[in-house]
Structure 1
Amino acid sequence: MKKSTRPADIYLRFLQLAEALRGLPSLPSLDPLEERILAIIARAGQEQQRLSVRDMMGKKELGSPATLHSRLTAMREKGWIMLSDTEDTRRKQIELTQAALLHFDKLSNCLVQAAKG
């Protein structure tokens, strides 16, 4: 069978490799909304932007503040995120844990591996 070289095949190989990561013992899995929240937190960190709990709960496209608060709490308990103090003790900064950063490293390796074929 001839190997396809369509660009979509790289992405599909990446998805297959990324799915295999979910079976490895590391952090507890996330539901789709939590994955979306994690991506927002990661992008904010990459762009060196501050992201507080209040900022996150203001994102209406993610659901109600109560839903977001419960998801952030769950993600913290699962070990994906941590909250750190700011100058204002009432505001907490959301950051990725080392384990979450390692997860993104693994996903990056999957992307590189998929691109190599």
Structure 2
Amino acid sequence: MTRPADIYLRFLQLAEALRGLPSLPALDPLEERILELVARSSQNRQRLSVRDMMGNSDLGSPATLHARLKSMRKKGWIILTDTEDARRKQVELTQAALRHFDRLSECLVKAAKDD
């Protein structure tokens, strides 16, 4: 009988293999946290603006956050879209980022099926 931890460890192994695929450039750990925050907000159908993110002290200083958002846009993970207030930008996942989460989901399903 396989331990539940084995499923998770298989998932990590499969997910690590995704990093070697020529899809999007790699993210640093803070960028990964930002990406997950954006994804969760999107999943919950909540709007997430740059200003909203600035209020999250766990993401670092405003300068650090701006640098990471700029980097993530350049790498193709996120886009900033206009809102009704031109000074406010909405943070959203790109189609490539959504495909990345689809592939991660497939890894999780595969890891559970291989049990």
The TM-score normalised by the length of structure 2 is: 0.98
Counterpart residue number, 1:27:
24
The one-letter amino acid paired with 1:94 is: V
Q: Distance between the aligned counterparts of 2:100 and 2:62, measured in 1?
A: 27
The one-letter amino acid paired with 1:31 is: D
Q: Which of residues 77, 99, 103 in structure 1 aligns to 2:100?
A: 103
The one-letter amino acid paired with 1:38 is: L
The ranges of structure 1 where at least 4 consecutive aligned residues each deviate by more than 4 angstroms after the TM superposition are: none
Confirm or deny that 1:51 pairs with 2:35: no
Q: Distance between the aligned counterparts of 1:78 and 1:54, measured in 2?
A: 21
The one-letter amino acid paired with 1:37 is: I
1:62 is displaced (CA, Å) by 1.1
Q: Which of residues 26, 35, 40 in structure 1 aligns to 2:37?
A: 40
1:112 is displaced (CA, Å) by 0.2
What secondary structure sits across from 1:25 in the alignment? coil
Counterpart residue number, 1:67:
64
1:57 is displaced (CA, Å) by 1.4
The Cα RMSD (Å) is: 0.6
1:37 is displaced (CA, Å) by 0.3
The one-letter amino acid paired with 1:65 is: P
> Where in structure 1 are there 5+ consecutive unaligned residues?
none
1:68 is displaced (CA, Å) by 0.4
Q: Deviations over 1:28-77 (max 9, x none)?
A: 00000000000000000000000000111111011101000000000000
Aligned length: 114
The one-letter amino acid paired with 1:90 is: R
Counterpart residue number, 2:91:
94
Q: Distance between the aligned counterparts of 1:59 and 1:51, measured in 2?
A: 11
